[in-house]
Amino acid sequence: MKILVTLLSLLLIYFDSLSQELIISGGQESTIAYSVEQIIELPDNIKGIRVSFVKPQNFQSETYIQEINSVDVKLNPTPVKEEKLTDVYGNVIHHYHWENYPRTVIFKIMIQAKNTVKLDKIRSEVNFPLENLSPEFAPYLEPTDLVQARNQQIIEHARKLAHDCELEIEVVQNVLRFIVDHLRYDLVPERYDALYALEERRGNCQNYSHLAAAFLRALSIPVRIVNGLTFKKNYLVPVDESEYSFDMAQGRHSWIEVYFPDLGWIPFDAQQTEFFVSNRYLRIEVGKDNNETIQDGLVKWTSAGEAGGGVPRLEEMIGSEFLADRYSFVAQEKVPSTRKLLLTPPIEVQPVSYAARDIPEVQDSASEENLKEQQVQDQYNYPGLTYERSFESGNIHFPQQFDFLAAHFVDEKTDQIKRQFMVETAEYVTGREQFTQMFVLQEPILLKNIGLALHIFGGEGLIWVDLSEDDGGQPSLQNFSSKKQVVRGMRGSKGYNWVDFNFSEAGLILSPGNYWITLNYSGTPIVNWFYSYGKPVGPVEGTRSRQFGEEKWGKILNFEFNYRVLGLGTAD
């Protein structure tokens, strides 16, 4: 295997092809049976609890339609009281009360819904700025602690994005494109507000939705925050000789709906890089921000007053089954308007580009521009260099040893447990499908280990990593294998941890370029590999899969696995 090579020309050609907006048309129609079950364990100091549930409502928009066919609630034991109310945003909220508590309360909701997505051409002729809005939309123009729409920094950025725009749809496109390009997904950010997302350029689904809402509200465009569920059921979009696979984790999620006077409310999700929402979404609750949309899954308790008492322990399990699922999408064209992949239906007007505007950037060390500059500097061979500096690179951030079933926000000041957005984003990687992940080196290194964020559930056999050079956007046929590891005895604590695969004995020196990590196995191991939404580090088409036995890695995945490359860099 020829590892030490100079790949300048190949890299430049490859990176020039990455940035794209994928315009698609078509639709989806599915019947989904889903359930949310909460098991609440109560300590001795609690004398009563209340569990809240928001009943999903029918919803219809230009792109997404939700029809609720049935709702069934099972409670054990039977509550002593039930209350029902409709709040100012139209959410239908049920409160269930228990007193003289049992040790365990089991709360389960089973719902069947029909979801439809229609991606035809979106036509909106509403001028910007908007005029003569009804007072009913005033709440969705207001700033909040999480949506700082009156913050001067946010206002200035919003105005730059809206500069020269004549239609509302142009403004919305520019705002969402900016967020897709400039934010990096972080499952556990320090804060969840819009200003944090703008300054740090990272966050989870709450940050994405809050920043989009802040920009648009700063421009007097009504936006509401939506909370709901997403389901782990991918869909495919054929493109050229490959197909894009769009996949989400199963769990709670936040996105936005934007009001157009001539179209009504339209859903969008910048965090999933979609200019719409697919029918893998279930809409539940709306409000001004994610501090308001907290009723679904909320647990409140009343303490008996003893000092030093505990708090309830809550585990939440979400299940789904697609009773029917039909979809058909056609990719019409690729538009080089974004640095990252954006999936969008046809829109009658094209927005004014924000690319040349004076908007401060938070530079990522793996950006395309930095890589090209580094490649120009590295047009030489590497004999005689000394490798002694510690090197670590990759998509490194993920929640290690995290218990996703018990992941909830406990507020002991108000005696309540709120729902959270900690979702387990992972693929089962020791089944019929094989997965590979690209990484990009900007400097030569002496390779020691490649680590993957894995959860070893058990089984028998061996696992290892194959390392390949890039061959036209796919792993080359030649590869170098790490040491094999025996699965028996590897199962550890709950959650995901680094598993390092050893390459140190081979003495591999990798030059700057593109490489692929492929997880391989023998026997019957049961392993999940954690991933991050979007492409935090690598290129758009740098995560792929195939069925075992296929030659081409024809499926392009919309996420990036968590990995790290460890070794030694040069002294300089």
Token pair 């002694």: residue: 388
Lookup result for tokens 């989400």:
248
Q: How is residue 84 written in tokens?
A: 């029902």
C-beta contacts of 200-208 below 8 A and 24+ residues apart: 200/362, 201/362, 204/271, 204/421, 205/253, 205/254, 205/255, 205/271, 205/421, 206/146, 206/254, 206/290, 206/421, 207/183, 208/179, 208/183, 208/254, 208/255, 208/269, 208/270, 208/271
For residue 5, what pLDDT is reported?
A: 36
pLDDT band at 492 (very low <50, low <70, confident <90, very high): low
Q: Please state the rounded mean pLDDT for residues 28-46.
A: 93
Same domain, 203 and 275: yes
Does residue 129 have a cis peptide bond before it, meaning omega lies within 30 degrees of 0? yes
Q: Residue 572 — pLDDT band, cuts 50, 70, 90?
A: low
Q: How many domains does the chain have?
A: 3
Parent domain of 220: 118-290+324-344
Would you state the pLDDT for residue 455? 94
Q: Are residues 300 and 258 in the same domain?
A: no
Q: What is the CATH number of the domain that holds 48?
A: 2.60.40.2250
Q: Which residue has the higher pLDDT, 100 or 561?
A: 561
pLDDT at 64: 97
Cis before 360? omega within 30 = no
**Confidence check: pLDDT of 26 > 90:** yes
- Report the relative pairing of strands 81-86 and 555-557 from DSSP bridges: unpaired
Concatenating the DSSP letter of every residue in 205-255 gives HHHHHHHHHHHHHHTT--EEEEEEEE-S--EEEEETTEEEEE---SEEEEE
- Same structural domain, 531 and 395: yes
Percent of the residues in the chain that have a pLDDT greater than 90, as a whole number: 69
Q: Per the structure block, which two tokens stand in for 77?
A: 């034991």
Asked whether residue 435 is domain-assigned, the answer is: yes
Give the whole-number percent of the chain exceeding pLDDT 70: 87
The pLDDT value recorded for residue 305 is: 66
Tokens 């392009």 correspond to 556
pLDDT for 497: 94
**Quick check: 452 pLDDT over 90?**
yes
Tell me, yes or no, whether 104 and 159 share the same domain. Answer: no
Per-residue model confidence as pLDDT tens digits over 4-16: 433 323 333 333 3
Q: Could you tell me if 113 and 66 are in contact, meaning their C-beta atoms sit under 8 angstroms apart?
A: yes
Give the per-residue pLDDT at 341: 81
DSSP 8-state code for residue 139: G
User: Measured between alpha carbons, how far is 453 from 431 in angstroms, rounded to an integer?
Assistant: 17
- Give all strands (DSSP E) within 151-200, no chain letters: 184-185
Is residue 316 located within the same domain as residue 420? no
Q: Is the pLDDT reported for residue 128 higher than 50?
A: yes
Is residue 539 in a domain? yes
Q: Tell me the C-alpha distance between 562 and 567, whole Å.
A: 17
223 lies in the same domain as 369: no
Angstrom distance (rounded) from CA 213 to CA 225:
8
Residue 200, SS3? Answer: helix
| Averaged confidence pLDDT in the chain | 87
| pLDDT tens digits, 141-190 | 999 999 999 999 999 999 999 999 999 999 999 999 999 989 999 888 99
Q: Are residues 112 and 122 in the same domain?
A: no
For 206-253, the pLDDT digits (tens) are: 999 999 999 999 999 999 999 999 999 999 999 888 899 999 899 999
- 3-state DSSP call for residue 179? helix
Report residue 546's pLDDT band, with 50, 70 and 90 as the boundaries.
very high
> Mean per-residue pLDDT for 6-27?
54
Q: Is residue 79 located within the same domain as residue 161?
A: no
